[in-house]
Amino acid sequence: MTCPEQTGLKILTWNINGIRSLEDFQDRLQQSEADIICVQETKVTRDMLTEAVACIPGFTSYYGFSRRRAGYSGVATYCKVGCTPIQAEEGLAGISGGGDIIGGTENLRCEFTSEELKNIDAEGRCVITRHKVDNEGKEQGLVIINVYCPRADPERADRAKFKLQFYKALDIRANALRKMGDMVVVLGDVNTSHREIDHCDPYEEFGDHPGRRFLDHFLQCEAVEDGDNQTDAENCDEWQAVHVAVEEKQFIDTFRIFHPDRKLAFTCWNTQLNCRSTNYGTRIDYIFCSLNMSPFTMNCDIQPEVLGSDHCPVLAKFNLKLTSPSKPPDWCTKYFREFAGKQVKVSDFFVKGVKSNDLKRKSESINEVAKKAKVEKKKITNFFVPKNPKENKVQKTIESEQAKNDDKKNDSECWENVQNFQTKTTNTAAKSAWGALFKPPAPAPLCPKHKEEALRRKVLKKGPNIGKEFWVCRRGEGRADDPEARCDFFKWVK
């Protein structure tokens, strides 16, 4: 079976920011024009994955799971049946134990310790699939490396180091697979904007950044204008291999092949600050391909109109035809033991042949009998009658005492009415007092520039103002020269 030849091979990448938050994920997948769909930040561990999401008709899927935290990180690659891979592997370091070892791992063991390799694969940040390409009758491999690169937390030095170590492992593995003769695609959320044109607010000395130096090394691109960013051997960045020789500039940014000078082409926005409405973001989602695949690249573009995440998809098209194997590789989710066997259904616990209407009628019948029993129980005194005249005299005496008590009861009810009136008067006064104390909040002020109601926010950062509330312009953050962006209105809530 082969992918449709007339349309080319379409590969899409998208950080979905939680697969469970996309209730229509299955529909989106089946309606997509892409043949291979790579998603990042699935935020599911294996025990959270449902069969409805993992085993979607018309696709085979391959997942990478975080072993450290539940609901964190994670990637997945979905392939249409005609583009099923011949091999699939979970992880970048080749030691996670998920699926086949596709190759190119020897140099990793020369550069990293066993503990470092375990850490690189512990967060479920990579899935690798290998496909068979029919290149004019000549078979060749196509390797797709789906990655969700770590974010460097500025307050945690260990995370910055981990991010650069992940880059180093990616560099070594991707180039090793390329040298084996395969065409290689590296795609996903790389978590670094490469050039100033890829950032909404490039700061001074923007290029002097280890992540950008890595992309300068990894990608074939124009020379950096702000000088040589290479460092000496004693002060090299963490992404640079020390014990292994890695060729540089062996991959290309497919988007910039077709849009070398396009500005404001962003793929990620801060949705908490409503930055998507003003397109104030960064381009950190990419589809890179090896140089030997560049001649087959037909197009690549971003899809900012697709909503559902704080990222948007990137779609590339290649003039390639894939041939699928007779069965998917072992790491396919359809072979997971929780999905492969016959699952027990709730309906199996009900007696066969008994319909829900019959059960309902039986239940109603039981309720009728119970009600009737209660009524009869209340009337059981009707079966007792007085036995002698003495009991009648006693009965009359009791009735006489009851009449006297009724008179007293009437007097008591009058006094209660007076008390109730006083209580109501007191409650009305109290209600008025509380109403004066808790007045409804004052209306939101208008920001002077846009004449729109301001947005109420709270200080969450630790400091003297933590917990205090303030008003700001409700528009999205944007460039200083953008009249539609948020103005500088600020006012403390009194």
In this structure, what are the phi and psi dihedrals at residue 492, rounded to the nearest 5 degrees?
-70, 145
Residue 285: count of CB within 10 angstroms of its CB: 23
Selecting among 121, 189, 198, 285, the annotated active-site residue is 189
- The answer to whether 78 is a known catalytic residue is no
For residue 321, give Cα distances in angstroms to 84, 252, 362, 425, 463. Answer: 12, 21, 63, 85, 59
- The answer to whether 47 is a known catalytic residue is no
Using the structure block, give the residue that is written with the tokens 């006297």. Answer: 404
Q: Coil, strand, or helix at residue 13? A: strand
8 A C-beta contact, residue 278 and residue 484: yes
Burial class (CB in 10 A: 0-12, 13-18, 19+), 446: middle
Residue 312: both structure tokens together = 């948007």
DSSP assignment of 170-183? HHHHHHHHHHTT-E
DSSP state of 198: G
In the chain, the largest separation of any two C-alpha atoms, in whole Å, equals 122
How many CA atoms lie less than 13 Å away from 464 in the CB half-sphere? 0
DSSP state of 346: G
How many CA atoms lie less than 13 Å away from 298 in the CB half-sphere? 12
**Distance in angstroms (rounded) separating the CA atoms of residues 76 and 98:** 13
- The answer to whether 311 is a known catalytic residue is yes
Q: C-alpha angle with apex 34: 28 to 37, nearest 5 degrees?
A: 75
Catalytic residues, by residue number, are 148, 189, 311
